[in-house]
Amino acid sequence: MADTTSEAFTAAVTLTPAEPEHFDLAFTAVTQPCPWPKAYGGDLVAQATAAAMRSVTDGKALHSMHSYFMRPAEIGKQVRYEVELLRDGRGYATRQVRGYQNGKALYVCLANFAAGEPGGSHQPELPAVPGPEELPSSAEYLADRSGGTMTAGSKAYWSGGRSFDMRHVPGPVYLSVEGARVPHQAVWVRPFDALRPVEGLTDAQRDAAALAYVCDYTILEPVLRVLGLHWAQEGLVTASLDHAMWFHRPLRPGVADGWLLYAQQAEAAEAGRGLGSGRFFGPDGAQLATVLQEGMIRAGGPEVGRS
């Protein structure tokens, strides 16, 4: 596809400094096109990540973020991010970021930064899954398929509009649940082309923002999978509620331009909400980040059940 580039991501995290109205610093950013009624939640997480990182100038690296989504954001509209400098210590720094659109707060997060120090190391093992070259891309999978609520716009978006190539193990949940209704899956992710420089961010900061951006696309999919739901199912409505992310180590130069493995698990589903977890692994097996997200999942019909 001619338009399969990573430019939507870098456009999303390109911020414009603004005069603060509520806190210490302010930036504006624009949500990117998507075929749904509201903007992609990863836009807000990644934009707030970029705003928080731009407020820390002493070399500390982002190690955690905790977010709440309070209102849907309009697509293609400006969001204003106000940054409060809560603490600057020798080893750690803390920021609060609030996103505003049309004068209302729609997103809030706390972000923490660390100088880093020597210590022990532990992580889970890299899951054994087929490599990305053995799996179809979203575009290849969807090429001759249709059904449900999928439109030409959503098909094009899933295939090439999200800045990243995504390959599922087992198969995706676009039009049906490919494979068993298991509470786990893995997704190989790679930008369609090399990530562009982003003004105001170092390459390492841009790469951290890339993980924050792409993580939201599929984090609820293991919950959908175990419930027997798919994205094109009639009546399905989802929304991000809250989100937490920990960055364990920086990405080495160039790693974010290649394949990363995103191993995911459905942790719980009840009362119209689902909790998904995910771990990003680099090509050397190092765990780069951990994600937890709870989302609203509304669906009716006989396919929905306990597992």
Q: What is the set of active-site residues? A: 216, 240, 293
Q: Is 94 exposed, middle or buried (0-12, 13-18, 19+ CB in 10 A)?
A: middle
Q: Report phi then psi at 17, rounded to 5.
A: -60, 145
Strand partners, 292: 244, 277
The CA distance from 6 to 164, in Å, is 6
Q: Is 77 exposed, middle or buried (0-12, 13-18, 19+ CB in 10 A)?
A: exposed
Structure token pair of residue 133: 């070259």
State the greatest distance between any 2 C-alpha atoms of the chain, in Å, as a whole number. Answer: 57
Q: Mind spelling out the 3-state secondary structure of 129-174?
A: CCCHHHCCCHHHHHCCCCCCCCCHHHHHHHHHCCCEEEEEECCCCC
Among positive and negative, which fits the CA dihedral 47, 74, 191, 147? positive
Strand partners, 60: none
